[in-house]
Amino acid sequence: MSAAPLVGYSSSGSEDEDEAEAAAGAQARPGAGGCRRSQSPLPSQRLPVPDSVLHMFLDTEGEPEDDQEKHGGRVRTFPHERGNWATHVYVPYETREDFLDLLDMLLAHAQTYVPRLVQMEAFHVSLSQSVVLRHHWIVPFVQALKDHLASFQRFFFTANRVKIYTNQEKTRTFVGLEVTSGHPQFLDLVSEVDRVMEEFDLTTFYQDPSFHVSLAWCVGDARLQLEGRCLRELQNIVNEFEDPEMVLRAHAEQVRCKSGNKFFSMPLNGFWCGDPDVNQNQHQTQRRDNQASRCAPRPSVSTLFAGLGIL
């Protein structure tokens, strides 16, 4: 605020051009390709290249135009460069019909204060800031994420506290639901994602993160209009909605990484735990076991051989 293989890219045309140049060279050499002496020689005069072709690619070397109208007036937080891929790690938030009904009520009320608010296209809980990856880093970056997250279990979480957020540049404002149950599990996920970020010399997540699901956004800093009375009224809508705890309870079953227009999915392990309290206790036990296994000294080779009866 899917890990699938990379999709192949179409050729830039350089290979076809090389083949064409090779073929032209073969035709130009005397006797190449079995040409007969009776054939008339190729004309030496070249045909003029049309102006439409000469001017076709004049602008391809310049910087891409950052047209804000094409993406809702949003401003880039970092300049676009060829070979740089905006990358983001998150837990997807799967929606149900009753959640969307609640969302419609919240958005309609918030728009009475800030009419330019629009609904998010997809919902998630962020585990990283948006960072820039070079194209050749994507595969090793995703593999590092898979390695670091391989032992994590699925868990339940609840996001039911309305909160107003802005991005660091204060160019966008978000209405979100803050996570109130499942915070320790998200902290553990972020800890491992941060390790991967450090391996690639990228920016880590915020020091004291407020994990949340963004519901709606608008351009500009709209905190003055949305905080205070509007925020209290939005929270009342959530509290008075039918069975809000169940409606806003979600499953964290995978971590996703979006890099450019490519998606990679890293499923979490284990089975669902039906009771959030038991889920929390199991998480604390697993966390202690993981820490103990990391700190435990590794047995020596002689100890292993002795256990096998070799020594």
Residue 270 confidence class, pLDDT cut points 50, 70, 90: confident
- The rounded Cα 176 to chain-centroid distance in angstroms is 18
Catalytic residue from among 55, 88, 212, 283: 212
**Residue 210 or 289, more confident:** 210
* pLDDT (0 to 100) of residue 79: 56
At 181-192, the pLDDT tens digits run 999 999 999 999
Secondary structure (H, E, C), the chain: CCCCCCCCCCCCCHHHHHHHHHHHHHHHCCCHHHCCCCCCCCCCCCCCCCHHHHCCCCCCCCCCCCCHHHHCCCCCCCCCCCCEEEEEEEEECCCCHHHHHHHHHHHHHHCCCCCCCEECCCCEEECCCCEEEEHHHHHHHHHHHHHHHCCCECEEEEEEEEEEEECCCCCEEEEEEEEEECHHHHHHHHHHHHHHHHHCCCCCCCCCCCCEEEEEEEECCCHHHHCCHHHHHHHHHHHHCCCHHHHCEEEECEEEEEECCEEEEEECECCCCCCHHHHHHHHHHHHHHHHHHHHCCCCCHHHHHHHCCCC
pLDDT at 83: 78
- Of 254, 182, 250, residue with least CA distance to 211: 182
Q: Is 124 a catalytic residue?
A: yes
How far, in Å, CA of 30 to CA of 36, rounded? 10
pLDDT beyond 50 at 18: no
Residue 145, pLDDT above cutoff 60: yes
Per-residue pLDDT tens over the stretch 49-95: 666 545 544 443 333 444 445 445 555 554 556 778 999 999 999 99
Q: What is the pLDDT of residue 9?
A: 28
Does residue 213 contact residue 159 with C-beta atoms inside 8 Å?
A: yes
Give yes or no for a contact between 151 and 198, defined as CB atoms under 8 angstroms apart: no
From 109, 124, 183, 251, the catalytic residue: 124
Question: pLDDT digits over 163-176, tens only?
Answer: 999 998 999 999 99
Share of the chain above pLDDT 70, in %: 61
212 catalytic? Reply is yes
User: Is the per-residue pLDDT at 118 higher than 90?
Assistant: yes
Residue 45 pLDDT grade (very low, low, confident, very high; cuts 50, 70, 90): low
Is there a contact between 126 and 206 (Cβ–Cβ < 8 Å)? Answer: no
The reported pLDDT for the residue numbered 101 is 97
The 10 Å Cβ neighbour count of residue 231 is: 17
Question: Residues 148, 189: contact at Cβ < 8 Å?
Answer: no
- Bin 240: left if φ > 0, else alpha if -120 < ψ < 50, else beta: alpha
Residue 311 has pLDDT above 70, yes or no: no
Going by C-alpha positions, the residue among 225, 274, 233 that lies closest to residue 251 is 274
Give strand pairing partners of 118.
217
Instruction: Name which of 125, 84, 151 is nearest 252 in CA terms.
Output: 125
